[in-house]
Amino acid sequence: MFIILGATGHVGSAVAQSLLDQGEAVTVITHDAKKKQKWQHKGATVALADVHDADQLHRIFQQGKRLFVLNPPAPITTDTAQKERQSIQSILAALMDSGIEKIVAQSTYGAQPGERVGDLGVLYELEQGLRKTGIPTSIIRAAYYMSNWDTALATAQQAGQVPTLYPPAFTLPMVAPQDVGSVGAALLQEPVQKTGLHYVEGPQRYSSADVAAAFTDVLGKDVEAVATPREAWAATLQQRGFSQQAAESMATMTAITLDQTYELPNAPIRGTVTLQAYISALVKPGE
């Protein structure tokens, strides 16, 4: 049995769907009862749980052998790093004596130690905590999700703009969630003893200007990338609903990415979904 923690997000759902498509037995964990019927129709077993309830998670983990871990994102109105560290501690506690024989965990490019570096620090701590469990673990460090641009659809349609914290011409590794999901499913099916650190990104690197160009092409109207100056990042994020702590963490994480003060892989696993294809599917789902 494969257990997917974080199955209702972009990446976790792609992992679960890939396994189901191959006829595997899958249990998805969600806190949202409204999503239970959808996954049951897909053929999955559904376990309702709060990620902060370690005892509840432990009982679910005991029902399977392979586990995909995606630490759920905290609401942006909170101190996201603090909340996400709490859920990590719950997950790690639930793994003790659970019988899980192999873990695949979702992390990110740039994961590194640090208190106020957003997900880069939180997910680094997840990586280290999982290694200390002694359970064979494969880590996926994924590039910037193309799904982060989903919220730009409305402004592209209404104002012809793609808001961005990056300079429009700055290129960075991006990846479609479905490509990460395919890799995650494949790693879960590998032999227990086969572990490692895996970097995953799309066919090529893209810029905010490339995102705007993709919207221009699909929408049939001019769309431009509009950058927020670095000195205004935190204030702008707070205006968008981020707490002060979350805004500061996101601004620091963005600076690390922009300054490229993190390790970039020489030979990442490359997905097949292009930015153009992703934006096209976002604008015209089902086509």
Per-residue model confidence as pLDDT tens digits over 2-25: 999 988 789 999 999 999 999 999
Task: Summarize the confidence of residues 94-115 as an average pLDDT.
Answer: 95
The residues, ordered by sequence, that sit 6+ positions from 207 with a Cβ below 8 Å of its Cβ are: 166, 168, 169, 170, 171, 172, 225
Task: Summarize the confidence of residues 182-189 as an average pLDDT.
Answer: 97
pLDDT(286) > 80? no
Report the distance separating Cα 42 and Cα 234, nearest Å. Answer: 41
Coil, strand or helix at 59 = helix
Question: What is the total residue count of the chain?
Answer: 287
Q: pLDDT at position 263, please?
A: 86
pLDDT(44) > 80? yes
Q: How confident is the model at residue 151 (pLDDT cuts 50, 70, 90)?
A: very high
Task: Summarize the confidence of residues 46-58 as an average pLDDT.
Answer: 94
pLDDT(34) > 90? no
Sorted by where each starts, the structural domains of the chain and their CATH numbers stand as: 2-149+174-201 (3.40.50.720)
Q: pLDDT at position 66, please?
A: 97
Q: pLDDT at position 35, please?
A: 84
Task: Summarize the confidence of residues 73-98 as an average pLDDT.
Answer: 95
pLDDT(113) > 80? yes
Give the mean pLDDT of the chain. 95
- In this structure, what DSSP letter does residue 71 have? P
Q: pLDDT at position 287, please?
A: 60
Task: Summarize the confidence of residues 108-130 as an average pLDDT.
Answer: 93
- In this structure, what DSSP letter does residue 228 have? P
Query: pLDDT tens digit string along 262-280?
Result: 889 999 999 999 999 999 9
Q: pLDDT at position 133, please?
A: 96
Task: Summarize the confidence of residues 100-123 as an average pLDDT.
Answer: 94
Query: pLDDT tens digit string along 210-240?
Result: 999 999 999 999 999 999 999 999 999 999 9
Asked if 19 and 185 count as a contact pair (C-beta separation under 8 A), the reply is yes
Q: pLDDT at position 285, please?
A: 82
Q: Spell out where 109-160 has E strands.
A: 137-142, 144-145
Q: Which two tokens stand for residue 60?
A: 């679910």
Report the distance separating Cα 246 and Cα 79, nearest Å. Answer: 5
